[in-house]
Amino acid sequence: MPDFPNLLEKNRTWVQAKLSEDPDYFADLAQGQRPPFLFFGCSDSRKCMNSMIGSEPGDLFVHRNIANQVPLHDPNVQAVLEFALLNLKVRHVVVAGHTGCGGVGAALSGLEEGAVGFWLTELRELAAQHRDEIDPLPELMARANRLSEINVVAQLRNVLLSPAYLKAREAGTPPTVHGWMLDLSTGLIRELELPVDDWRREGLL
C-alpha cells in the first residue's frame, strides 16, 4: 500500500501510461459519460470493482455505502438512481455484496448505536425476517454471507420499486437488474439467481 505522499505520483504515472497508449484518452474522456452499468457496492476498501472486472473510466456509474444498501427513503441513493436511469439511461443495474462484509456482520449482531447502527436499521429487520433460514447455519461467517446474498436480492427489489425505475419502465427503457456476490477469498464474482418469476407476479417487471 503506497504512503500518502506517493498517491499523486502514482496518479501521474498512470496518466502517462494512458497517454502513451492513446494521446487523446483524457480529451475523449472529458467529452461526457455514457456508462452502460450502474453499480451499487459496499464501501469495503477491498472491493475495487474497476480492477476486479477490468473496466475503464466511463464504464461504471458507481454508488457505494456500508453493506450496499438501496433504501427507498434515502435521497442520496434515489438521486443516483434517477440520474443513472433517466439521464444516463444505463442498461444494467448491479447490486454487489461480498463475503465477510463488516456491515452485514454488524447488522446480524444487532448493532444499533451511532450513525452506522441507524444506517443498518433495515438490514437488521431483514435479518430478523430470515432468522429461520440464517440461524441454523453452523458458523457466524456462513450466516453473514447468507444474509449478504439475501440483502442483495432485497436491494434489487428496492431498485424495482424506486420512482426512477418506474419512470424508466413507463418510458420503455428499464434496465436489466443483476445480483452479484464477490468472494474476497478468491476474487471471483458469482451471479445470484433472482426471483424473477415472483417479481413478475408482483408486477415489478
Active site residues: 42, 44, 46, 98, 101
**152 Cβ contact partners less than 8 Å away, ≥ 6 residues apart:** 68, 95, 96, 97, 179, 180, 181, 192
The helix (H) or strand (E) run that includes residue 160 is helix 140-161
**116 Cβ contact partners less than 8 Å away, ≥ 6 residues apart:** 66, 103, 106
Write out the three cell numbers for 203.
Answer: 408486477
What is the DSSP-derived secondary structure letter of residue 144? H
